[in-house]
Amino acid sequence: MNITHASFITVPVTDQDAALRFYTETLGFQITADLQMPPGRWLQVAPAGAQTVLTLSGPGMGGFTPGSTQGIMFVTSDVDADCERLRAAGAEVEGPDEQPWGRMAQFTDPDGNRFMLLTEKEGF
């Protein structure tokens, strides 16, 4: 196998502009693509330097259901500070909690898509 990385992960949203504000202003992600193409807007965001991007898929794009994304883990150098920032922005946050592999929390975007944050334990 010659697979090197995932290109993008689809995150279905109800309102691409509102989602874009959350992902750029709250999470600090960068816009990597914002194009009009059939059947609609192709909108992608990612943390700086990431190989894998998130495609914020609006209604009618691929038949995905907003709020159905789960299990994507973002690694952060300070999960506690990020949780405070998310809560201040009105996001639903659980944790952070200490785990054998590091300090971890969960949060949802405005559409209910669920993500995890992890500050990895040294040596893990």
Tens digit of each residue's pLDDT (9 = 90 or more) over 34-51:
999 888 899 999 999 999
pTM here?
0.91
Lookup: tokens for 5 = 């990385």
45-98 confidence digits (pLDDT tens): 999 999 999 999 998 778 889 999 999 999 999 999 999 999 999 999 999 999
Least confident of 26-30, 35-39, 105-109, 111-115: 35-39
8 Å CB contact between 45 and 30: yes
- Hey, CA dihedral for 86, 88, 90, 96, is it positive or negative? positive
* CA–CA separation, 61 and 70 (whole Å): 18
* Domains of the chain from N-terminus onward: 8-59+67-120 (3.10.180.10)
| The pLDDT value given to residue 37 | 86
Q: What is the pLDDT of residues 12-40, one digit of tens each?
A: 999 999 999 999 999 999 999 999 988 88
Give the DSSP H/E element, type plus range, for residue 55.
strand 53-57
Residue 21 pLDDT: 97
Q: Residue 124 pLDDT more than 80?
A: no
What is the per-residue pLDDT for 47?
Answer: 96
